[in-house]
A and B are shown apart, each in its own frame.
Chain A
C-alpha cells in the first residue's frame, strides 16, 4: 500500500511518464506541488519569468522531441498567462500539459484571492481539460492527460488541481500505467487502393505536406513516396523539414509567401495529394481558386479535417505515416516526365528571389550565414513577422522536428522561450532563434532564463524598429497609411541583453560582421546577434489577403530580375 499526498502522487506520476524538465513559476496555489517537486530525484525545474514563457519552453521541448511535455503555473494570473501558449499549441497540434494550482475546493466560486475559472477559460484553448475534484482522481487524470495529449491529433491538456487536493493524503495499492498514445486504427485497404488508382492515373500530381507529416514521424515515408512516384512537393509552414529544401522534387513552401513556382505549379496540377494538412487560408489563398483543376486525396488523422475546407474525392482517415507507407507499394514507379519538365521550367523561370542575400547584414544574408555557422543539425526557432517568413523562404531545412515556429496562432514572443525549451530538450544541438524587435520584446524577460540555464541559443535579431509585416500590409493594402506600426523609441537591445548577463554582438558597428557572427556562434551559451535591417524592405512574393495564390505580388526583387 502506498500512502502520500496528492502533490507527491502527481510528481511521481510525472516521473513515471518520463518527464525530466518542467518549466514553470510557483505561487500560493501550487506551492505543495513545488514542495514535492523539490524532492524529485529526476525532474529538473526551470524557473521561467512569465507563465507564457514557461508554456512556450514546454512547447519547444515537445516540438523537438515529439513527446508530451509539462509546465506549471499557479492559480489566477499565473493560469491566465498560460492561455496564449495553450491556444498556440492547440492550433499547431503540440502535446503539452499545463498543470495549474487552484484555490482550495471549499473556496472555489467565492472570488477567493487569485481565483479564476481556468477550467472554463481554457476549454476552447485546449484539446481537453480537467478540474481535479479529489486526490484519488489524480491517479486516473494524469495518465489520461498524457494519453489525450499524444493520441490522434496531438494537442494541449490543462489539469487544474485545487490546493487542498495537493495536500490531501491518499492510500492506494498500485501505480497506474503511464498514459501512452492510442494506437491509430488501421487504414482500410480499399481506400488506399482507390487513392493509389487516382495517383497512378493522374498526369500532373502534386504532393502537399503539412505539420501532420512531422507529427506522425512520416517525413521519411513522404520522401520515399514522392521519389517513387516522381511527384513534385510543396510544404506548408508547419511542414517545412519534411523533405529537404534542396531536394529536386521540393518547391518549398506554398501560399502567401511562397516561391512563385510553387503556387503556379499547384495552379496546373490535376491531383492534389494532401498529407497532414488542414487547407489553412495562408496556404490556400482564396480557397475557391486553389488548385482549380485538381481532384484531392486527403490523408489526416483528424476526421474533422476531411472535407472541412475542400472536399476530397478520396479521404484517408488515420495515421499519415501508415497511409504513405501503405500507398508506397501501390504507386507506380513511372514519373510523368512531361510534368516534371514543366515543373522544372517553372522553377527556373519563377524561383524564389532573395535580393541582396550575399550581403551578410541583409535579412536573407543573416539567415544564410546563421545556417552555415550552425550547421545542418541546428534547431531553428522563429518569432512571427517578416523575419519568420524570410526564414521559411530561405533557410536550408533538412530534418523534421528542427523547425519551431508559431504557425496557426502566429504568436509574437514564441521564438525565444521555444528556443530555450528546444535547447533544454536537445542540449547536444545548436539552436538559432530568428527574431524581430517587435516579437523579441514580447517575451524578452526569458533572456534571464536562457542565461541561467546556459541555453545554447543564438538570437539573430533583425531590428527594423517596426512591426514590419504590419507596416508592409499598410503600405500595400491601406494606401501607404502607415499607422502604429513603427516605434518611436529605439531600444538598445545589446545593452538589454548585457543587462540580463547575456553576451551580445552588434553587427551594425562591426568591421567584419561575418567574423563577428562566427565568433558568436563558436562561443557556447546564449548570445544576442543584433543587426539593423531596412524597414522599407518588404517580403515578396505576397498574396494579398483574400486573393487567389496566382495573384501574388512580386515586388522589386522580381522586377529587377526580369528587367
Chain B
C-alpha cells in the first residue's frame, strides 16, 4: 500500500514536507539546469519524477525536497531559470511520490 505523502522520509530521517511541481521546456539539459541549481546551493533533492506532457515540447517535473528556511529562496531561483515555465509548491507533500513507493522497496 502506498505510503501517504506526508510520511515520505528523507535521507536524514526527517520528513520531506514539500513537493515542487514544475512545468519545464523539454530538451536535453533542462534537468541539469534544475538539479545543478539545487546542488550548488547544497540543497538536497530527495526525489525526482519527470515525464513529457502533451506533444512532448514540455515536461512536468516533480521534486521532493526538505522544507527548511532556504526553500523560499531556492524556489525563487528555480523560477528564474529560463526553461522553467511555472513552479507550484505543495506544502505538506503530494501523493505523487507515494504512488511511486512500490518501485523503491528494497
Nearest A residue to B39 by beta-carbon distance?
A124
Contact across chains for A304 and B76 when beta carbons are under 8 A apart: yes
A148 touches B36 (CB 8 A): no
Residues of A within 8 A of B80 (CB): 302, 304
**A127, closest chain B residue (CB):** B82
Residues A304 and B29 in contact in the complex (CB < 8 Å), given A123-B36, A124-B36, A148-B82: no
Give chain B's interface residues, CB within 8 Å of chain A: 27-29, 32-33, 36, 40, 72-73, 76-77, 79-83
What are the 6 A-B residue pairs with the smallest beta carbon separation, nearest first? A304-B76, A128-B82, A123-B36, A304-B77, A124-B40, A308-B73
Can you give 17 A-B contacts (C-beta < 8 A)? A119-B29, A120-B29, A120-B32, A123-B32, A123-B36, A127-B82, A128-B81, A128-B82, A128-B83, A131-B28, A131-B29, A133-B27, A302-B80, A304-B76, A304-B77, A304-B79, A308-B73
Q: Which residues from A are CB-within-8-Å of B29? A: 119-120, 131
- The residue on B at minimum CB distance from A131 is B29
Chain B contacts for A308, CB-based, 8 A: 73, 76
Chain A neighbourhood of B76, CB < 8 A? 303-304, 308
Say whether A303 contacts B79, CB under 8 Å: yes
Question: At the interface, yes or no: A499 with Cβ under 8 Å from chain B?
Answer: no
A353 to B27, CA, bound (A): 57
A79 to chain B, nearest CB (A): 16
Identity of the chain A residue whose Cβ is nearest the Cβ of B33 in the assembled complex: A123
Question: What DSSP secondary structure best describes chain B's contact surface?
Answer: helix
Size bracket of the A interface: 10 to 19
Interface residues of A in 294-309 (CB under 8 A from B): 302-304, 307-308
Besides the contacts A123-B36, A148-B82, what 17 more A-B pairs have beta carbons closer than 8 Å? A119-B29, A120-B29, A124-B36, A124-B40, A128-B81, A128-B82, A128-B83, A131-B28, A131-B29, A133-B27, A302-B80, A304-B77, A304-B79, A307-B72, A307-B73, A308-B73, A308-B76
Residues of B within 8 A of A307 (CB): 72-73
Set of chain B residues within 8 Å of A124, measured between Cβ atoms? 36, 40
Give Cα A307 to B73, complex, Å. 8
Please measure, in the bound complex, the distance between the C-alpha atom of A304 and the C-alpha atom of B41, giving whole angstroms: 14
Query: Which residues of B sit under 8 angstroms from A303, Cβ to Cβ?
Result: 76, 79
Docked complex Cα distance between A127 and B83 (Å): 11
Chain B residues contacting A120 (CB-CB under 8 Å) are 29, 32
Binary CB contact string for chain A from 100 to 125 against chain B (1 if under 8 A, 0 otherwise):
00000000000000000001100110
Contacts of A302 in B (CB 8 A): 80
Nearest-neighbour CB distance to chain A for B77, whole angstroms, equals 5
- CB 8 Å contact bits of A135-156 with B (1 = contact, 0 = none): 0000000000000100000000
Give Cα distance in the complex from A304 to B79, angstroms: 9
Within the assembled complex, what's the spacing in Å between the Cα atoms of A308 and B32?
Answer: 24
User: Considering only CB atoms, which chain B residue lies closest to A304 in the complex?
Assistant: B76
Chain A residues contacting B81 (CB-CB under 8 Å) are 128
Cα–Cα distance between A131 and B33 once the two chains are bound (Å): 13
CA distance A124 to B33 in the complex (A): 8
- How far is B4's CA from A43's CA once the two chains are assembled, in angstroms? 62
List residues of chain A with CB within 8 A of the CB of B32. Answer: 120, 123
**B3 CB → nearest A CB, Å:** 33
Instruction: List A contacts of B79 (CB < 8 A).
Output: 303-304
B36 adjacent to A304 (CB under 8 Å): no
Of the candidates B33, B40, B73, B83, the one whose C-beta lies within 8 Å of that of A304 is B73
| Residue on B nearest A309 in the bound complex, by CB | B73
Question: How far, in whole Å, are A127 and B36 apart by their CA atoms in the complex?
Answer: 13
Please name the residue on chain B nearest to A155 by beta carbon: B80
Mask: chain A, 358-394; 1 = CB below 8 Å from B; 0 = not:
0000000000000000000000000000000000000
Bound Cα distance A133, B28 (Å)? 10
Contacts of B33 in A (CB 8 A): 123
**Residues from chain B with Cβ under 8 Å of A127 in the complex:** 82
- In the complex, the chain A residue whose C-beta lies closest to that of B83 is A128
Question: CA of A133 to CA of B32 in the docked complex: distance in angstroms?
Answer: 17
Distance between Cα atoms of A512 and B40 in the complex (Å): 54
- What is the distance, in angstroms, from B39's C-beta to the closest C-beta of chain A? 9
Interface hub of B33, B77, B82 (most chain A Cβ within 10 A): B82
Shortest Cβ distance from B69 into chain A, in angstroms? 11
Chain A residues contacting B36 (CB-CB under 8 Å) are 123-124
Q: How far is the CA of A301 from the CA of B72 in the complex (A)?
A: 17
- Complex contacts, A133 vs chain B, CB 8 Å: 27
Smallest CB–CB gap between B76 and chain A, Å?
Answer: 4
For B77, the closest partner residue in chain A by CB is A304
Task: Report how far A139 CA is from B80 CA in the complex, Å.
Answer: 24
